Amino acid sequence: MLIAAGASAQQISLNIDRIDAPLFTATKITGTLLPGTTSKLELRAAEVAIAGETWRNVRLTCPELRQGRDEFICEQATLETPVKIAVTFRYSTLTKNLDLALRPAANEEWRVHITGTPGGRTLALDVRNGALTHFKAWWPATWPKPNAGTISGRATFNVEREVSVQGELALINFGFADDSGLHAAEKINTVLTLDARQNGAQWRWQSQLDWKNGDVFWDPLFVSGYGHTLTLGGTFDSRHVAIEQGRLALAGIANVDITASIDRASGKVAAASVKGDNVDIAGLYEKLLKPALQGTVLADLRCDGHADFAFVLKDSAMVSADAAFRRVSIEDNGRRFALFGLDGVFPWHREETKTAKLRIAGGEALRVPFGAFDLPLETRGLRVRMRDIEVPVLDGKLAISDFATSGERESWRWRFTGALKPISVEQLTTALGLPAMHGTLSATIPTVRYAQSTLNVDGALLFKLFDGAITIENLALENPLSKIPRLTGDVTMRNLDLDLVTQTFSFGKISGRIDADVKAMELVNWGPVRFNARIASSPGDYPRRISQAAVQNITALGGAGAAAAIQRSFLRFFETFGYSALGWSCRLELDVCHMGGIENVPQGYVIVKGGGIPAISVLGYNRNVGWRELLARLKRITEGNVIVK
């Protein structure tokens, strides 16, 4: 340090080349003191650095400097950095002690006490309602910046045989965010305690963070709650931060042990391990996962069971993960799916092949129950393979073969083939809450593929039902895990037995056979928004009779008046009628069903064309009906609000 001073009767000048202190450096300091009844002091510094933040052309002005026997006192100074900050200070020329207070805003104070001790000097910082936004420039470039909150408490810096730092600071209503919006927090209230000691170029430290309350979103996790504690201990130097002993106590979830090495220049994790034992799955879902899963089918679950987890990271990327499950259950409160009694281990490594051994006690999908099965998996990176499994479904089985995944990063893909072995249609319809049907259902499932958030079926799904054949082609399901999945496809039905169909759905009795096509079908959130459907009599020679109840129900789709007119006519004396053909079409667009029949007539269109003795024809008059109104009419008919025999 080089000091040069000049004095005259009118002015005292000061020149200091450099001042170095813990966390503080100032260079090229000049000053003038104008003695008088009230002395005036002005200090300038070419550069001032505090904890890594640098200001240039800093100026301190005291218009009224009082000089005591061995001290200087200023109660109305101004510090320009270039922002103007109110300052008061007291400096002892005898002990070299300094009491400095900065007040950047009303009710905000940063007070520095520098005192001498036999072994060195101590710097104490007392903060009251300090704005955390002051620290924006000190944050690493890759970290979210503070945007709200205050800090209060005390920190002390001791410079003796070794340099040490102790402190207890409270963060009140702290918030931060980054430009992407993927990392943010608000209304965080915490208490931080710190004890750090310097040993040469390295510091050894211990800290504890008590999280009282607040919300943090760190994509994809959203943490909201209270009572969590983070305890960390380790070392840091100019290049690295090492967490040698860390524990995150998540209230109601688990204790998580952490070790890590962080590169200070890049802010990246060079290496880390995270381990949690006996994790409560219900607490994990409610407090951590559920907020992040809003907008998906996983947003409303009931969870149970426990698990152990262990993760290893290198260069900010996960290289291995191990999980062990104990009686884990996951159930959708909307009854769309459930998984009960998951047990077993699931090891994973980015570069090595691992074998998972899992067993599922049972569950259900769309209220259809399935039984226990083993789930053996081979994993390596994003590749997962499963050879052959059979899942008991009601009195049959679902066979899945050659399940495999591939891809990198976000372009995850998977595929499988399978078959549905004979299942009782009666049990299936009962489970689905549909009218009871009879027979068995079996199907061949061609290759099913998933990529870019879309599930596609290669080829056709084939079913046998109502003594006919049902084929589904061009099937695609977009965003299956969102709350608004979109399903598209084409359905073809051939030679269905009308007697079985109409008896099943309480529509009155119709004998004969029909073909049906549903083209360009589109369902959003499992509700139809677009399709082009057509029903028509199948070709061939077979009995064709229609009951009066069925005639009434068909005509009731166009309004109650037509059905009543038939009831009053002489035709009410006949139970059944002959017909030569029937047909109906609906093109659904913008929530309106545009209807048609076998052929057009001046009054409208023909739905049932008479034939035989006695014969009857049924006409449709209204070509455009709101989809919801049409569904309401169908519901009234099948629930018996229209007379059915």
**584 located within any domain:** yes
User: What's the sign of the alpha-carbon dihedral 334, 336, 340, 345?
Assistant: negative
pLDDT at position 522 is: 94
Q: Domain total for the chain?
A: 2
pLDDT digits (tens, 9 = 90+) for 86-125: 999 898 888 888 898 989 888 899 998 988 866 677 889 9
Residue 570, sorted as left (phi over 0), alpha (psi -120 to 50) or beta, turns out to be: alpha
Reported as type and span, the H/E element at residue 576 is strand 576-589
Establish if 97 belongs to a structural domain: yes
Longest CA span, the chain: 135
pLDDT (0 to 100) of residue 572: 61
Q: What is the mean pLDDT of the chain?
A: 84
pLDDT value of residue 1: 37
Within 8 A by CB and 6+ apart from 524, the residues are 484, 485, 486, 487
Segment among 283-287, 294-298, 366-370, 575-579 with least mean pLDDT: 294-298
Show the tokens assigned to 607.
Answer: 């739905």
Give counts: helices (H), strands (E), the chain: 7, 43
The reply to whether 30 falls in a domain is: yes
CA dist., res. 172 & res. 127, Å (int)? 12
Element spanning 498, H or E: helix 498-504
Lowest-confidence pick of 49-58, 125-134, 382-391: 49-58
By the 8 A CB rule, do 278 and 254 touch? Answer: yes
418 domain-assigned: no
pLDDT at 569: 57
Cα separation, 609 vs 577, whole angstroms: 11
pLDDT at 383: 87
Q: Using the 3D structure, point to which of 52, 79, 103 is the last residue of a domain.
A: 103
Confidence of residue 644 (pLDDT cuts 50, 70, 90): very low
**Residues 426-469: tens digit of each pLDDT:** 888 888 776 677 777 788 888 888 888 888 888 888 887 788 88
| pLDDT value at 6 more than 60 | no
Residue 133 maps to a domain: no
Convert the pLDDT of each residue in 514-529 to its tens digit: 999 999 999 998 889 9
Give CA separation, 316 vs 276, 300, 311, in Å.
19, 31, 12
Domain C-terminal end among 60, 78, 103: 103
Residue 444 near residue 473, CB atoms below 8 Å? no
pLDDT over 70 (residue 37) = no
**Mean per-residue pLDDT for 478-492?**
86
Per-residue pLDDT tens digits for 158-170: 877 678 889 999 9
Q: What is the pTM of this model?
A: 0.70
Cβ–Cβ < 8 Å for 594, 605: no
CA 127 to the chain's CA centroid: 38
Strands (E) in 295-367, as ranges, are: 301-314, 317-332, 337-349, 354-365
CA distance 379 to 386: 9
Residue 638's pLDDT band (boundaries 50, 70, 90)?
low
Answer for the pair 556, 645: CB distance below 8 angstroms, yes or no. no
Using one digit for the tens of pLDDT, what is the confidence trace for 158-205? 877 678 889 999 999 999 998 888 888 899 999 999 999 988 888 899
Of 82, 103, 124, which residue sits at a domain end?
A: 103
Q: Evaluate whether residue 590 is within a structural domain.
A: yes
Q: Is the pLDDT of residue 640 over 70?
A: no
CA distance 401 to 415: 9
E strand segments, 351-485: 354-365, 368-370, 373-380, 383-393, 396-406, 413-424, 440-451, 454-457, 461-465, 468-478
Least confident of 149-153, 234-238, 263-267, 470-474: 263-267
Contact 454, 476 (CB under 8 A): yes
Domain that holds residue 573: 484-638
Percentage of the chain modeled with pLDDT above 70? 90
Residue 522 lies in a domain: yes
For 541-575, write each residue's pLDDT tens digit: 998 988 878 887 777 765 444 443 444 455 566 67
- Helix (H) / strand (E) element for 551: namely helix 548-556
Question: With 90 as the cut, is the pLDDT of residue 292 above it?
Answer: no
Instruction: Give backbone dihedrals phi and psi of 189, rounded to 5 degrees, phi first.
Output: -120, 115
